[in-house]
Structure 1
Amino acid sequence: MVMKRLKCDLSPELTTCLRLADSVRPDCCTIRERIPYDAECFVRDICKELKNLYQRHEKSFTKRMRILELAVPRRPLCRFIPKCACPFTKTIEIIPAQMPMHTRTEQLALPTVRRLLCRLKEAIRIGDKIGESILNRWLRSSYLSLYSRLANLQPLQKPVEKKKLTDKQLKKHNKYIKKLAKPKVPIKPPKPERKAGEIDQRRLKKLSSPKTYLEDIKPEWEITPGMRKYKATDRVKILAKPVERPNVHTNVNPEKISPTALKYKPSARIKEMSQPLAKHEANLGPGDLKDDPFAISPNALKYKTSARMKELAEPKEFENTHIRENPFAISPAALKAKASPRLIELAKPKGST
């Protein structure tokens, strides 16, 4: 198969198996050994050969328990869902194998998936079929590269927009958040049930354990050789002497009178203040003017008590309802009462029939 480069192709190589009309295909792209467009006739043969290969592989494989355990994938449910080509109703486009990219530089040189998807949308919008097929091939190569497989890249999907919560849902959510915000109260262990006269085992164990006392032994004071040979310095001797300070509060000659006190003359105001306070008749009260404080006033002798005052002066009498007039009297209800069969039964002495 001859592989040539097109003028409009952005890729380094382009196969001649693209489904392009002869009017659209450029003259520089010669076709040799044309592959039929409808390749469904090869599907059964390919599946049959693949089945034979699987059977041959199973027969040649040494089945060991350890190898079978290691062969089980850790993530059995992956994001890649393999699909079989048999149930497809569309025509299958067979693309020949390209030159494998073995180097890291070649794989890293592939365009990013996001950029290719952006250009693919633009090609679909314009209607460029050739560019769309080229970009699809580039996308396939980029997805199947080593680094894309390690990163487990998936085609971009539009994120699902979250619905706005209603007032009822928002209120319920806030209530739930407040409930979670409250600190958990630790559960207190229940007190052990103890019957009457039973001894508390924990308290008994605590009391039975012996108490430990740490004796504080003070070491005896000894004169060390360094203390015996010690000689005080001049500075220590100065500090050891008591400080002598003059006592300003003690008078040297207590009998001596100061000259200012001998020459002092009191003023007129001081002489006035030194005199005792005299009583004036205007300042005296009516009680102080009475000659006989025990005498009864004439108004008190003429006073007559009112009926209300007499009523209030009489002591109140309360009826004592707790004491009956005749404590031995029998009430009329007791005379009319009839004993019930139960009372008659209880009134009989024990043992009587």
Structure 2
Amino acid sequence: MMRRLKCDLSPQLTTCLKLADSIRPDCCVVRNRIPYDAQCFMRDISRDLNKLYKRHEKTFVKSKRIMELAMPMHPKCRFVPKCACPFKKTIEIIPADLPSNTRTEQLALPTVRRLLYRREHAIKIGDKIGESILNRWLRSSYLSLYSRLGNMQPLKKPQKKKKSTPKEKKRQAAYIEKLSKAKVPLEPPSWSPQTPERKGEYSMRRLKKLARPKVFELVEKPSWELTPGMKAYKATDRIKTMAEPVSRPDVHTNDEPEKVSPTALKYKPSARIKEMATPLAKNEATLAGDLKEDPFSISPNALKYKPSSRIKELAEPKEFENTHIRENPFAISPAALKAKASPRLIELAKPKGSA
């Protein structure tokens, strides 16, 4: 048998959650106490609740295994009454709505074009409530970030056209009368000797003008002459200084190349430089290997060497055939004997000055 809690309002439990004054803590002040006579309503409430339980049981398929699994392992009441005295702040009731996101809300808004079409339809059918709702949505859609990025402009009242003045009406009538007249066809151009007769031909006057050679004016430079002004010319000091060659001192040349600098005379070499300056010591054993009695003598191994066929082939000098020299350089080729000279060659073969 499952143990029941005090907060379980089952049909079998006919008493309410009533705490005695001796059990209730002193900090909890009871305001608007429920009268004890109100317990008479609990029987009616429990009866209606019993009907709901029975209706609820009929909606499910009764299976022993399912009912066993449906039983909670640790049965607890959904609401455990606690004393509100330890809480310093007042308890604020907040509706359990989902947290809203600005971007999601703005993306969920319908487009302005669709809302305008729906509002126009609502105005036609006379739906005032729908028009007010659509106006509210239009305001939100206009002020959304995506409408501002799309440069959606709010609606403006259409401006009434001004009535045209009699002067403007007269001008408009004259313009309409001008447009109503039929167009006069253009006359074909008359033919003249200067103009081309057919398509593709050119004017002879134009061709003659283009055929004239271009006139170039040769500009000859006058010959240089010594004028009297040049003879009596006196150069200024500035021109004289500019005419003098620039003298640049040669820094790289040394006046006394054999002279030793005083710093080099006072220099004291270090131990490392002295060690590097000493010549290498050669022993007699090393000198005997370097020097030979007859440096031009052939080694016995070289005398016994037998060259291979490849080395013999490479040692032979190459024979070059001179194709530029013929056997009989003075012989005339048969093609030259059969050749016939052209009039141009005969003319060129004649000596200069001959008739």
**TM-score normalized by structure 2?**
0.22
**TM-score normalized by structure 1?**
0.22
Q: Which has the higher contact order (CA 8 A, sep 6+)?
A: 1
